[in-house]
Chains A and B, each alone.
Chain A
Amino acid sequence: MVEVTGIIKKISWQRYASFFALVFLFILSSLLSPYFLKPQNIINIMRQISYTGIIALGMTFVIITAGIDLSVGSVVAFTGAVVVLSMNAMLRVIDSEALVLVLGIPIGILVGGAAGAFNGLMITKGRIAPFIVTLGSMSIFRSLSLYIGDAGEIQSHNTLYGKLGMGSFLFIPVPVWVILILAAVLHLVLNNTRFGRYLCAIGSNQKVAMFSAINVDRIKFYTYTLIGMLVGITAILLASRFNAVSTSNMGLTYELDAIAAVIIGGTAMSGGRGTIWGTVFGAVILGIINNMMNMVGVSPYLQGTVKGLVIIIAVYFQKQKQ
């Protein structure tokens, strides 16, 4: 009996810490504000977190390999700008908004994927630390998007595109559907496929992975390409919400939110292990905290402080567990 309770104490808390934190916050918020539990508010929170949440799914993989990607926010802006500009260009020759939209979406995924592939190449073939490579590309892609958009806003001429981002299916907004589906798929990839297993192996001990005949470079390259593609999806959804891209503001500090969601979700910064659902909970926790602070009237300027503290506390508890 002692052993059983001991196991419950040790394992469950560790594994489900982010889930318990979420439940706690949920109850606390519903007590603090009568509006919190209103379906519209919950749906809003979910929509808000879905953009950085999708990126955080990819960031989970990157961090499991003991890497990091700081360029995601800039790539959101860059990809968004390219998507809107190319759709606008296509509209001049193609009459159908629907067709242009169908062509625009793969462009976004490709451009994001290409940016990620660039990071991946520099990290694997160039043997440069992920932090440095993505710090560089963060600057590169922000600057490129400012350049192509003249540091201003790029309006989309495709009205159908705007409906995609604001649309709902079965009362749930499109971006929320996207993150839920992606999370389910990536959860299976992480836990049930060779790629997922290799990710953890590389993050735990790269040398063992190499000695075990795992093509470490290829797996890493795929991982950075994958997060790039997810960034592309976020860019498509985000640009369609406003049917425009603000090249200076779009995606700003998204890397922070994405990394924070991963860490709060219990993935170790040192790599080797992590969960997708933890990251989703992490993103929702951040979303609820933001929402709650708005409701109880905390100055928006102070919200960053709270977010920062939450990240530090989450990592503190992670360290204590080890």
Chain B
Amino acid sequence: MKNNDLILQASNICKSFSTVEVLHNISFEIERGEILGIIGENGAGKSTMMKILAGIHTPTSGDIYFEGEKVLINKPLDAKKIGISIIPQEFNLINDLSVYDNIFLGSELLLSNRLLNKDEMKKRTRSLLSNLQVEISPDEKIENLSAAEKQMVEISKALAFSSKVLIMDEPTSVLTQHEIDILFDNMRKLKESGLTIIYISHKLKEVKAICDRVLVLRDGDFVLESQVDTISPEEMAKSMVGRELSQVFPEKNTPGDEVVFEVRDLSISGLLENISFTLKKGEILGLGGLVGAGRTEVAEAIMGLREVSTGEIFVNGEKISIKQPRDAVEAGLGYLSEDRQGSGIITSFSVAHNMTLVSLKKYSDNFIQWIDKIRETESSERFRKLFNLKTPSLDTALEFLSGGNQQKVSFSKTLDTQPDILIVDEPTRGIDVSAKQEIYQFINSLARKGLSCIIISSEIEELIGMCNRVVVMHEGKIPGILEENSINEEEIMLYATGLK
């Protein structure tokens, strides 16, 4: 097994968790300096495979060869020593520490007197960041950074230790198009300098754009290997799900004329400035823009999760006052948060308990707040069928469900209050193609039934495919609202980047 071009080989890797085998005899090879895409649906085993390479999991059987030598990777430090770094999907940064502290965490540079060599660490951080064309001060605290900036810090962290193989798990899920372009430029530069990159993603167009070769995983097996030049995103999708995908986006619904929701002059000092828009009955309104443009802040302000400086909100022409989330829910608003794990679902709660968390009053509308568990279960069962939810039972804790299924539970939770106006923030982030499609179909069918929906999304395709109108935000303002025919990628980007 010696080949000088190969940097990494995995041979017959199997991995079982308790009694379930999630990887079956996986073998693959990676050449030095290539960008290898690994794609597959949620639960296909991509992340598990990568965690084995990074030393987070150990394989049940099988061998790994690095530069021709057999290596044992039993813990993350082993991987780091060999030269394999992973940028996980969920950031692994400490919020209270500065950028340079995080980059050198665990491998701090020391002066001869054993004190921290802060100057050198800052200097190296600065040069790492400027190579990536990011303007972040090394002294900035992580908590003050946007998601995209955190991503760049993660990359710098990996590069700081002369990694030879860099694994990126869904790196673009929190990035906007502009930031993705910068990331790809950087990846190409890194590739030229001899770095090998394993790129895990759901976004097939991106895989097509950046990768040299692609491997498709399905249910723990490799089902396809191909040079990217010779395969289309549609073919990739087909082999991922094992069946033909019909059109991803459903046909748009024509909204009514009646304005059911209006925001007037909403401002939060320093964040939002005079945000005004309307929403018609049955309309799907997109809220686009770059990360940090203030889209989520608009949603949180509407829902009573943020204090506003000025602004009026009208539901069905009537002005309402929203001081806390409960007021918004009672006014018929529902909100699906972008941060599923952080603010959407309780992972230790069961499926049923999550589904009724917002609407619990409905099931316990009596003096002693006694919960009618029979009705609760019935209602949860309805949602389980409606969303084709894959769960062993309604009593299963959410931590045992896949990302796509968790998102369906999160959706059920928001919908169980029967809102007239639904705000969904990045509804398809980090979930696979077929779950995405189900969610699009679902939102569309709700709109047809007269529900009005605001979709906040960083995926321009999603805005174009789903929305009747798109409100584009830039630095806390609305430079433009695009109507039906003028919704296209270019227009959205021009407004989002402040060029128009």
Contact = CB atoms under 8 A, between A and B. Distances in A.
Nearest to A268: B348
B343 A208 contact: yes
B258 to A, nearest CB: 26
Given A192-B373, A194-B360, A213 B328 contact: yes
A273 interface: yes
A95 interface: no
Contacts of A210: 305, 325, 343
Given A192-B371, A192-B373, A273-B348, A211 B360 contact: no
B346 interface: yes
- Of the candidates B329, B347, B358, B360, the one having the most CB atoms from chain A within 10 angstroms of its own CB is B360
B349 A211 contact: no
A249 interface: no
SS class, residues of chain B in contact with chain A: loop
Interface in A193-230: 193-195, 197-198, 200-201, 204-205, 207-215
A272 interface: yes
Nearest to B325: A213
Contacts, number: 72
A80 B324 CA distance: 39
- Interface band, chain B: 20 to 34
B345 A208 contact: yes
A212 B357 contact: yes
B349 A201 contact: yes
Interface string B400-423: 000000000000010000000000
Contacts of A194: 360-361, 364, 369, 371
Q: How large is the interface on A (under 10, 10 to 19, 20 to 34, 35 or more residues)?
A: 20 to 34
B305 A197 contact: no
Nearest to B357: A212
Given A204-B349, A210-B305, A3 B371 contact: no
Interface in A3-62: 3, 6
B113 interface: no
A322 to B, nearest CB: 11
Contact of B371 (A2, A197, A214): A197
Contact of B369 (A6, A195, A273): A195
A214 B343 CA distance: 12
Given A208-B344, A208-B345, A208-B346, A193 B368 contact: yes
Contacts of B373: 192
A218 B433 CA distance: 41
B295 interface: no
A193 B370 contact: yes
19 contacts: A6-B18, A192-B370, A193-B371, A194-B364, A194-B369, A195-B369, A201-B349, A205-B343, A208-B343, A209-B346, A210-B305, A211-B337, A212-B325, A212-B357, A212-B413, A213-B324, A213-B325, A213-B329, A272-B348
Interface of A: 2-3, 6, 192-195, 197-198, 200-201, 204-205, 207-215, 272-273
